[in-house]
Amino acid sequence: MDTIISVRNLRKVYAVGSERVVALNDINLEIGRGQICCVLGTSGSGKSTLLNQLAGLEKPTKGCVYIGKHNISTFSENQLAKFRQRNIGFIFQSYNLMTSNTALENVAMPLMFRGVGLRERNKRAMQMLKEVGLAERAHHRPSQMSGGQQQRVGIARAFVAKPKIVFADEPTGNLDTKTTLEVMEMMVRISRENNQTFILVTHDQYLAQYADRIITLIDGKIVSDVENVSIVDRMNAEEIKAQYMAEKEQTGVKAAEHGKTDGKHVPSEVLSHQPDTGQKDATPKEEPLPADQTEVPTEPVIDDVASQPTSEQTDSPV
């Protein structure tokens, strides 16, 4: 396996008053380049905490996370921010689009952070919007789109700069069942087309079946780690999907309908709020960009540093 993420003896403990919450307990893990990997578990099992660790959004209490040759656990906040901009895409449950910007502007944003010029980034953002079937909505703002459309904009934004790794934390949590399946297929398809590593966090055992590999967490520990044939590769995919939809309807667990979460009935600041505990918002905010990030084009660094390691970027003791 061509490993892109390597986790060693990772432990995360939160202090809440005088109590300590062990959110992750001795996690060891290798994830291959291009793998579509699901982190599955019930609420509170540590899924988001693990994702935050893999993405360098939070520091481990013990252990470390390597991405490529980088021990990101040793990076400063500034290094991490730059590293994420160059190598990582995020898809959030609550979309986290910039409410005052159009779909096109939202999708183009990661390219701006990479110093791509206006014309080129608009071209690439438009191509990406086409890929997710939203070219006609390019000039619409999030509040003028349904939840499913907003999440497709979120997907386009996550993939537009071709990051090596895309993380998605309950990306379909606000979507109805039919849209959920469309969005799942879209994310898997795009990841595969570009050989990108895709890491999905979900509590839904069915949605986990879209992955090539399912890692199950209970109480911050990996209790199972199995290979899986993705639904998209199964002969009876349509049958499985129909069954899922029927089950969801029958049990009345149908996720929020369009209209509830489509931005028309909720204040825009609620939509851009990131509700998950401990999950810091890694998407660009509506703040002016520092000049150095707008001017200098930067290349992905995962491969670069493999050939030119520096002591600061590799193998620091934890």
Ligand X SMILES: Nc1ncnc2c1ncn2[C@@H]1O[C@H](COP(=O)(O)OP(=O)(O)OP(=O)(O)O)[C@@H](O)[C@H]1O
Quick one: what does residue 277 bind among Mg ion, ligand X, none, with the CB cut-off 5 to 8 Å set by partner type?
ligand X
Q: For residues 13 and 81, which CB has a smaller minimum distance to ligand X in the complex?
A: 13
Task: Tell me how far, at minimum, the Cβ of 205 lies from Mg ion, in Å.
Answer: 16
Q: Which residues pair with 215 in a beta bridge?
A: 39, 225
Q: For residues 99 and 279, which CB has a smaller minimum distance to Mg ion in the complex?
A: 279
Task: Tell me how far, at minimum, the Cβ of 219 lies from ligand X, in Å.
Answer: 8
Interface with Mg ion, residue 202, by CB under 5 A:
no
Q: Which residues, including other chains, have CB under 8 Å from residue 290's CB and lie 6 or more apart?
A: none
Task: Tell me how far, at minimum, the Cβ of 45 lies from Mg ion, in Å.
Answer: 9
Task: Tell me how far, at minimum, the Cβ of 208 lies from ligand X, in Å.
Answer: 13
Using an 8 Å Cβ cutoff, are 47 and 217 in contact? Answer: yes
Task: Tell me how far, at minimum, the Cβ of 62 lies from ligand X, in Å.
Answer: 15
Q: Which residues, including other chains, have CB under 8 Å from residue 153's CB and lie 6 or more apart?
A: 95, 97, 103, 106, 107, 129, 132, 134, 137, 142, 145
Task: Tell me how far, at minimum, the Cβ of 113 lies from ligand X, in Å.
Answer: 26
Task: Tell me how far, at minimum, the Cβ of 203 lies from Mg ion, in Å.
Answer: 8
The order of strands in the sheet holding 19-32 is 19-32, 3-16, 62-67, 70-71
Only one of the segments 12-20, 120-128, 213-221, 270-278 lies at the binding site for Mg ion (rule: CB under 5 A); that segment is 270-278
Quick one: what does residue 278 bind among ligand X, Mg ion, none, with the CB cut-off 5 to 8 Å set by partner type?
ligand X
Tell me which residue of 161, 172, 169 sits closest to 90, measured CA to CA.
169
Determine phi and psi for 223, rounding to 5 degrees.
Answer: -105, -15
Task: Tell me how far, at minimum, the Cβ of 218 lies from ligand X, in Å.
Answer: 10
* Contact set for Mg ion, span 271-290 (CB under 5 A): 276
Q: For residues 82 and 203, which CB has a smaller minimum distance to ligand X in the complex?
A: 203
Q: For residues 14 and 237, which CB has a smaller minimum distance to ligand X in the complex?
A: 14
Interface contacts to ligand X, rule CB under 6 A: 14, 16, 21, 23, 41, 43-49, 203, 276-278
Quick one: what does residue 49 bind among ligand X, Mg ion, none, with the CB cut-off 5 to 8 Å set by partner type?
ligand X
Q: For residues 107 and 168, which CB has a smaller minimum distance to ligand X in the complex?
A: 168
Quick one: what does residue 23 bind among ligand X, Mg ion, none, with the CB cut-off 5 to 8 Å set by partner type?
ligand X
Only one of the segments 44-52, 75-83, 159-167, 216-224 lies at the binding site for Mg ion (rule: CB under 5 A); that segment is 44-52
Q: For residues 243 and 277, which CB has a smaller minimum distance to ligand X in the complex?
A: 277
What does the alpha-carbon distance between residue 288 and residue 181 come to, in Å, rounded to a whole number? Answer: 36
Using an 8 Å Cβ cutoff, are 71 and 315 in contact? Answer: yes
Q: Which listed residue (48, 174, 216, 230) binds Mg ion by CB under 5 A?
A: 48
What does the alpha-carbon distance between residue 156 and residue 187 come to, in Å, rounded to a whole number? Answer: 9
What does the alpha-carbon distance between residue 318 and residue 297 come to, in Å, rounded to a whole number? Answer: 32
What does the alpha-carbon distance between residue 134 and residue 138 come to, in Å, rounded to a whole number? Answer: 7
The amino acid at 205: Q
What does the alpha-carbon distance between residue 106 and residue 130 come to, in Å, rounded to a whole number? Answer: 14
Place of tokens 């110093």: 115
Instruction: Give the tokens for residue 284.
Output: 């660009």
Quick one: what does residue 203 bind among ligand X, Mg ion, none, with the CB cut-off 5 to 8 Å set by partner type?
ligand X
Residues that bind Mg ion (CB under 5 A): 48, 276
